Amino acid sequence: MWRYLTPVAAFLVLGALFAYALVRIQDGKLDPREIKSPLLGKAAPAFVLPTVADTARQFDSASLKGHPYVVNVWGTWCPSCREEHSALLVIARRAGIPFIGIDWKDDNALAQQYLGQLGNPYTETVADAEGRVAIDWGVYGAPETFLVGADGRVLVKYAGALTEAVWAEKFAPHLQGGG
Partner 1 sequence: MGALRRSALLLALAFAIVPVGYAIDTEAAFPDPVLQDRYEHLTNELRCLVCQNQTIADSNASLAGDLRREVREMIARGDSDADIKRFLTARYGDFVLYDPPLSARTVLLWAAPGLLLLLTIGIVVRTVLRRAKQPFDDETEESA
Partner 2 sequence: MIPELGTFALLIALVMTLLQAVLGLVGAHRQDAAWMRATTSITRGVFAFVLLAFLILVHAFITHDYSIEYVAHNSNNELPLMYRIAAVWGAHEGSLLLWVFILSTWSLLVSQFSKGLPDTFRARVLGTLGLVGFGFLAFTVFTSSPFARNFPVPTDGADLNPILQDPALAAHPPMLYMGYVGTSVAFAFAVAAMLSGRMDASWSRWTRPWTVAAWMCLTIGITLGSWWAYYELGWGGWWFWDPVENASFMPWLASTALIHSLAVTEKRGLFRNWTLLLAIFAFSLSLLGTFLVRSGVLVSVHSFAADPQRGLFVLGLLLAFIVGSLTLYAIRAPSLQSEGGFAPVSRESFLLLNNALLVAAAGLILLGTLWPLVMDVFELGKISVGPPYFNTVFLVPMLPLIALVGVGMHATWKRASYAGKGRTLAGFAIGGLVLGALVAFGCYGSYGVPLTIIGFGGGFFLMASSLWQPVQRALRRQTQSRAALGMAVAHFGIGLFVIGVSGVASYKIEKDVSMGPGDSTSIAGYDFRFLSTNDAVGPNYLAREAHVAISHGGQPVTELTTQKRQFKVQSNAMTHAGIAVAWNRDLFVALGDDLGAGKWSLRLQYKPLVRYIWLGGVCMALGGLLAMLDRRYRRGVDAVPDTDAVAGEG
Asked whether position 33 contacts partner 1 by CB under 8 A, the answer is yes
- Rounded alpha-carbon distances, angstroms, from residue 75 to 31, 122, 177: 24, 13, 33
The DSSP bridge pattern shows strands 48-50 and 58-60 to be antiparallel
Nearer to partner 1, 45 or 179 (CB): 45
Give residue 81's Cα distance to chain centre. 11
H/E run at residue 118 = helix 108-118
What is the C-alpha to C-alpha distance for residues 24 and 19, in angstroms, rounded to an integer?
9
Asked whether position 136 contacts partner 1 by CB under 8 A, the answer is yes
H/E run at residue 126 = strand 124-128
| Total residue length of the chain | 179
Query: Please, are residues 157 and 39 in contact by the beta-carbon 8 Å criterion?
Result: yes
Asked whether position 155 contacts partner 1 by CB under 8 A, the answer is no
User: Contacting partner 1 (CB under 8 A), which of 131, 151, 169, 173?
Assistant: 131
Asked whether position 38 contacts partner 1 by CB under 8 A, the answer is yes
According to CB under 8 A, which residues from 4 to 23 bind partner 2? Answer: 4-5, 7-8, 11-12, 14-15, 17-23
Nearer to partner 1, 133 or 162 (CB): 133
Asked whether position 117 contacts partner 2 by CB under 8 A, the answer is no
Nearer to partner 1, 129 or 172 (CB): 129
Residue 177, amino acid? G
According to CB under 8 A, which residues from 12 to 71 bind partner 2? Answer: 12, 14-15, 17-26, 30, 32-33, 35-36
Query: Please, are residues 126 and 52 in contact by the beta-carbon 8 Å criterion?
Result: yes
> Which residues of the shown chain bind partner 2 in the complex (CB under 8 A)?
1, 4-5, 7-8, 11-12, 14-15, 17-26, 30, 32-33, 35-36
> Which residues of the shown chain bind partner 1 in the complex (CB under 8 A)?
33, 35-39, 105, 130-132, 134-141
